[in-house]
Amino acid sequence: MTITGRIAFSITLIINMPIPHISAANYNEDKVPKYNLIDPLKMRDGSPVTSTEDWERKRRPEILNLFREHVYGHSKKKPSGLKFKVIQNDSTALGGIAIRREVLITFARNEETPEASLLIYLPKGKNGPFPTFLTTNFYGNHTISSDPGISITRSWVRNEKKWGIKNNKAGEQSRGVRQSRWAVEKILNRGYALATIYYGDIDPDFDDNFSNGIHKLYGKPKPNDWGSIATWAWGLSRCLDYLENDNDINAKKVAVMGHSRLGKTALWAGAEDERFALVISNNSGCGGAALSRREFGETVKRINTSFPHWFCDNFTKFNDRVNELPVDQHLLISLAAPRPVYIASATEDKWADPKGEFLSAYHASPVYELFNLKGLTSPKQPKSDHSVGHNIGYHIRTGKHDVTDFDWEQYLNFSDLHLK
C-alpha cells in the first residue's frame, strides 16, 4: 500500500471508530452520586494503620503501587546515560536582579535521545544555597518571561497562532506570553530560586501511541506502564537529579509545583519521589486533587476519552465503574505525608471540581495527624481568597482556571513556613 493509501486508510479507521457515549458534565451538587471513600489508615486486608512505621513500611507502599498499577502506570528507572551541561550562565538577567542559568539535559547515550532545557533563575545579591520552586511549563521556557536571553524551545508546541506558535513551532512572538502566570520577580525577591522545564521537551502532549519523547527510548508501554503524566513527573525527578549537584540550590528544600494537568504531574512527582520537600497543586482537577467518585465536572471517563495518553491503559477499566477504583485522590495527597502539601482551587473552575479538591485535602488529614501534624480541621470549604491549613494548605481563589499573583503569594507564605 502506498503512503497516501495508508494515510487514507488510517483516516477512514478514525472516522469509523465508535465514539463512546459520555454524559454531559454534572455541575449540580444535588446530583453528585453517593460514594464511600477508602480509609487511608486501613490496609486492603482490613488491618488498621496505627503508627508512622505502619504507614511508611506498609500502607504507603501499598497505596503507591495501586496508583502505579491502576492510574498513572509504572515509571522507568533513572537512565544510565543521563547527562547535564550548563550552556548559559548570565549574571545580568532581569535588569541585574537575577542570575539566569540554562542546563541542557541529555537523557541517554543515543543519537535520537530527547534533550530538554532546564531554566533556572537565582536571586542575585542574596546568600545561597536557595530553596527552590521546580515546575513544568506549557509552551516553552521562553514564555514565562519576556527576558530576551531565554532560549526558545525547538520542541513540539501546541499550535497557538495568536502566540507566535505556528505549525507547532514556537517563534519570537511567543516570548513572555505566559508571564502573568509566573511571579518571577516576586519569587526571587522572597529569596527563592525558580527552575522550570517545558513539558513538551519530556513528552509531547498528544496521543501518538507513545512513539515520541522519552517513550521512544523504552518502547510502547504495557497497560500498567507510565502514561504522559507519569513521564512528566519522571522528568521533574531528573531535574532534581541536576539540582542536587548545583551548589546554588538547596536540593533538600525543593518545592514541586504545577498547574492543571501539570498540577496532576506535581502531585504524582511528589508521591513517587520523596526528595521533594513540598508539593503544590494548582487547579489540578480530575486525576489530580479532585475526588474521582464525586463525578463532578470532568470525570474519569471524560478524561480518559479526551486524553488517552495521560494515564496508563488500566485506568480506562474504571470509566464506567469509578466506585470500584481501589484508590481515590485523597490517597494521592496522603502520599506526600509527612511533607507539606498545598492544594488550590478557583471559584469559576467548575470543571476541576473545587469542592472535590478541597475534600481530598480534608480526607488526607488523618495521615498527617498520625505524624502529629495539622491537616485541615473542618469539612467545610473555606471562603474565597482565604488560605487555611498548616501542613496541608488550601485556598479557593476568586476567578477562573489560571495561576495568579494571589496564588503565588499563598505558595510563598506556605513555603516560608515550611522551607525557611
Distance of CA 120 to the CA centre of its chain: 18
Nearest to 135 by CA among 213, 193, 68: 193
CA distances from residue 185 to 97, 133, 188, 407 in whole angstroms, order as listed: 8, 13, 5, 15
Nearest to 154 by CA among 170, 139, 142: 170
Catalytic residue numbers read 260, 401
Residue type, 332: L
The residues pairing with 134 across neighbouring beta strands, listed in sequence order, are 195, 256
Residue type, 236: L
Contact 106, 82 (CB under 8 A): yes
The three cell numbers locating residue 218: 523504552
Helix or strand run (H / E) with residue 257: strand 249-259
Nearest to 255 by CA among 157, 330, 340: 340
Nearest-angstrom CA–CA distance, 271 and 233: 10
Contact 79, 107 (CB under 8 A): yes
Nearest-angstrom CA–CA distance, 295 and 121: 40
Crossing angle of helices 60-67 and 261-272, rounded to 10°: 140
Alpha-helical (H) ranges within 17-118 are: 52-54, 60-67, 93-96
Nearest-angstrom CA–CA distance, 239 and 235: 6
Distance of CA 344 to the CA centre of its chain: 13
Helix or strand run (H / E) with residue 233: helix 228-243
Is residue 85 classed as helix, strand or coil in its secondary structure? Answer: strand
Alpha-helical (H) ranges within 250-353 are: 261-272, 300-306, 329-334
| Distant-in-sequence, close-in-space partners of 291: CB < 8 Å, separation ≥ 6 | 35, 37, 328, 329, 330, 353, 356, 359, 360, 363
Contact 417, 345 (CB under 8 A): no
Contact 264, 284 (CB under 8 A): yes
